[in-house]
Structure 1
Amino acid sequence: MAIVVPRNLPLPDLLSGASSDDLNVLADLITDNGKGRVALDSKIKASIVTHRSKGTLQAIPEILDSEIRAFGSNSIANMFRSSSVEYTELATDVAKKLDGKPTAFHDVFDVEDMVMRLAISKYSEVKSFSDYAAMLAQVSQVVRLLVSTAGTIGGFAASGGAATIAGLIGGRLVTLAAPPLAVAAAGATIFQAASPAFRITVPAVLQVAKIRRTRFDADLTAYQESLRACL
């Protein structure tokens, strides 16, 4: 039977219909909160920052897609744009990095679901949730922490290692919206020890997964309502 509501939309199509709040998270991750990254072209950074300020990131989904995929390898060479990968491969690599076991039978929707569950298990003290909406709320909070730590890795070793990240977590938790997410210090320290590319791709895939599920749920609801209108 054909799938009436698609759940594996290509990344540009998915991002073009996402909310500004959700896209802002990806923009901040790609640009290191507007400060730029060594591997990020200055013109591309300027374009992303400008569209973010105007609330029009939906107009540049191809750029966001390209920049996310450019971090799709954990090699130092790829940090300088020697190559990129398809998004499905990127998500699969992230799942494996988190000790998942994706197979050829898993589509991107399945792989992202795996990533969300594994990331919550690794980086959070919250191991269960009442429903799928609660899980997405936990994902949002994990992403917020990982985005912040991805931008502070440069001074990690020099400023105290695990003790410093524990302090950072404590500070961040104060500002998290209710219900609070207790992020495990050990989990964040593991993330800090990951390769540079994975510090970006892990939260990126988590955020894309959240966007995809939000879109899928909205499309499914709209389809169900259209069916009811025909009765």
Structure 2
Amino acid sequence: MAYRDDSDLEFLSKLDSESMNDLVYCLVHDKDGSVRLTEELTTNDMYKAWFPDHRRYWESVAAEIQCFGGNTFATMLRGGKGVLYKEVLQDVCDKMRVNYNSSSSVEKIEQNLLMKILTDAVEKMTPAELKELADAVGVKNVGLLTSEAMLGVFQAVFKAGGFKSYQLTLIIVNAILKALIGRGLSLAGNVALTRTMAVLTGPIGWVITGAWTAIDIASPAYRVTIPAVIQVAALRQKYLYETQASQVEFS
């Protein structure tokens, strides 16, 4: 397993080790908590030397994502190197039937993936659940809006970036991961955000479980790449938000 230079994963080197806990866990462990038979990260010398200080071996973490995203035989031919993250992301989007432009940035494609899941979930949400989600991201007068209008609002929140976009990402990702790997994000949140995460677990859980069943469930690679990509999307939003906040603070 060897890391390929990948500009879309380099931001991992800027994260603190605690932020990467969930990503490393989902790469190593299956939904029942057992160690994945196909993982190679725990055999890596850097992992053995520095775990749980993930930042010191972030390239090994990135390489694990790349290798799970590549065909095993093809990876061997590439000298143990997998595929670039954008290819992994696009493959996940294809499996999840997400519309995206392949020339878009990975951030935009990740947002398309999360919006697709949220769109499907909104159709299953009660008015009370929809209002709670809207309240969490600062949308007022939700009772006057249709589900379709609400989705437009959420899409605008994503495009605007900043704290609300980060919040919305955390809410969606937390629910997805609970359905996929049996545990949500360990990233700290305020009480209101935590409550909203719990409310959304049901609707998004139904959507992601249905999609999961429709995917080639016999492929162990997708059991890794789908939650890993979801984790990376959340970490990217965290990094972008914190970078933006620090620039404002020191400007």
TM-score interval (norm. to shorter):
0.5 to 0.7
> What letter is aligned with 1:105?
S
Equivalent residues of 1:31, 1:40 under 8 A apart: yes
> Does residue 209 of the first structure (1) align with residue 233 of the second (2)?
yes
Equivalent residues of 1:96, 1:102 under 8 A apart: no
Structure 1 position 200, deviation (Å): 1.5
Question: Which deviates the most, 122-131 or 135-144?
Answer: 122-131
The superposition leaves residues 72-125 of structure 1 with CA deviations (integer Å, 9 ceiling, x where unpaired) of: 14xxx5399546210011112222222222224301111111122223345685
Provide the residue aligned with 2:169 in structure 1. Answer: 136
The superposition leaves residues 185-221 of structure 1 with CA deviations (integer Å, 9 ceiling, x where unpaired) of: 3531431442332222111111111111111111112
Provide the residue aligned with 2:40 in structure 1. Answer: 41
- Using a 3 Å threshold, how does the CA distance of structure 1 residues 203 and 120 change in structure 2: closer, same or farther? farther
Provide the residue aligned with 1:3 in structure 2. Answer: none
Equivalent residues of 2:41, 2:47 under 8 A apart: no
Q: How is 1:147-186 mapped onto 2 (pairs within 5 angstroms)?
A: 147-148=181-182, 177-179=194-196, 180=198, 181-184=200-203, 185=206
The superposition leaves residues 7-58 of structure 1 with CA deviations (integer Å, 9 ceiling, x where unpaired) of: x9531x3222224343111111111167432322375368647744x4x111
Equivalent residues of 1:71, 1:84 under 8 A apart: yes
Question: Which deviates the most, 90-99 or 210-219?
Answer: 90-99
1:183 aligns to what SS in structure 2?
A: helix
- Equivalent-residue separation in structure 2 for 1:209 and 1:79 (angstroms): 27
> Gaps (5+ residues) in structure 2?
1-5, 138-163, 184-192
- Using a 3 Å threshold, how does the CA distance of structure 1 residues 43 and 109 change in structure 2: closer, same or farther? closer
Equivalent residues of 1:146, 1:203 under 8 A apart: yes
| Larger relative contact order, structure 1 or 2 (CA cutoff 8 Å, min sep 6) | 1
> What letter is aligned with 1:87?
Y
- Using a 3 Å threshold, how does the CA distance of structure 1 residues 42 and 100 change in structure 2: closer, same or farther? closer
- Using a 3 Å threshold, how does the CA distance of structure 1 residues 62 and 100 change in structure 2: closer, same or farther? same
Provide the residue aligned with 2:8 in structure 1. Answer: 10
Equivalent residues of 1:71, 1:201 under 8 A apart: yes
- Equivalent-residue separation in structure 2 for 1:49 and 1:123 (angstroms): 40
Provide the residue aligned with 1:187 in structure 2. Answer: 208
| Pairs aligned (count) | 188
- Equivalent-residue separation in structure 2 for 1:204 and 1:145 (angstroms): 13
- Equivalent-residue separation in structure 2 for 1:46 and 1:145 (angstroms): 32
Equivalent residues of 1:136, 1:210 under 8 A apart: yes
> Gaps (5+ residues) in structure 1?
1-7, 150-175
Equivalent residues of 1:72, 1:84 under 8 A apart: yes
Identity of aligned residues (%): 20
- Equivalent-residue separation in structure 2 for 1:42 and 1:106 (angstroms): 30
- Using a 3 Å threshold, how does the CA distance of structure 1 residues 72 and 208 change in structure 2: closer, same or farther? same
Structure 1 position 66, deviation (Å): 0.6
Provide the residue aligned with 1:24 in structure 2. Answer: 21
Provide the residue aligned with 1:64 in structure 2. Answer: 61
2:99 aligns to what SS in structure 1?
A: coil
Equivalent residues of 1:39, 1:81 under 8 A apart: no
